[in-house]
Amino acid sequence: MEKEKFYILLMKKENALDILSGKKKIEVRQSSDYYEKMFCDKKKLEAFYAQFENWENKKDFEQKMWLTDTLKDDGIKTLRFTNYNRTWFLDVEIENKFYDTFCEYTKQILNEKYNFHDWDDAPTQEEIAKRAEQGEKNLPNVIDFFAFVLGKVIDTDLTNR
């Protein structure tokens, strides 16, 4: 059996139709163990986290790797969106992909470049840090996320439905 040439992601049909119409230009997924296993190289991810072992010595700290550097070099350039029952599918080219932290900068890029506003009310890394400095307890976790810039539609059976 030939290895799959796409990542399979579950999606609501409404969002898939937004991709077909050109309204939706980016797919964003909050990081989880599931998605890290799917999209990240385990050794690269371990190296990324290892660089923070001496984080307390901030003056000596130099970040050499970024989350995006942990993505697999698997050659997969297609996302297959479908529902739980796989009654439809939508294959879309991946123009670009990145793995990042939700901060003011990435929020601005998602808003302005890709018209992505689903997380407009979510706290950014900077907001969480400020609240921590003010002594607030029970803070939300900083959001790490995978983003896929969507290219052309390769194949679908949605147009027949």
Average pLDDT score over the chain? 90
DSSP E strand stretches across 1-143: 7-10, 26-30, 78-82, 89-101
140 within some domain? no
**Domain annotation covers residue 110:** no
Residue 156 lies in a domain: yes
pLDDT above 50: residue 106: yes
Domain annotation covers residue 12: yes
Averaged pLDDT, 27-56: 90
For the chain, percent of residues with pLDDT exceeding 70: 90
**Residue of 7, 3, 13, 35 whose CA lies nearest to 161:** 13
Domain membership flag for residue 117: no
pLDDT (tens digit, 9 = 90+) per residue, 8-28? 999 999 999 999 999 999 999
Q: How confident is residue 59, by pLDDT bands cut at 50, 70 and 90?
A: low
Does residue 1 lie within any of the structural domains? no
**Residue among 20, 38, 55 nearest 157 (CA):** 20
Residue 121 resides in a domain: no
What pTM, to 2 d.p., does this model score?
Answer: 0.88
Residue 66: domain span: 7-101+145-160
**Helix H or strand E encompassing 105:** helix 104-114
What pLDDT, on a 0 to 100 scale, did the predictor assign at position 125?
93
**Region 50-54 average pLDDT:** 77
Report pLDDT for 60: 60
How many separate domains does the chain show?
1
- Whole-angstrom Cα distance, residue 42 to residue 128? 28
Read off the tokens for 96. Answer: 């670009």
Residue 111, in any domain of the structure: no
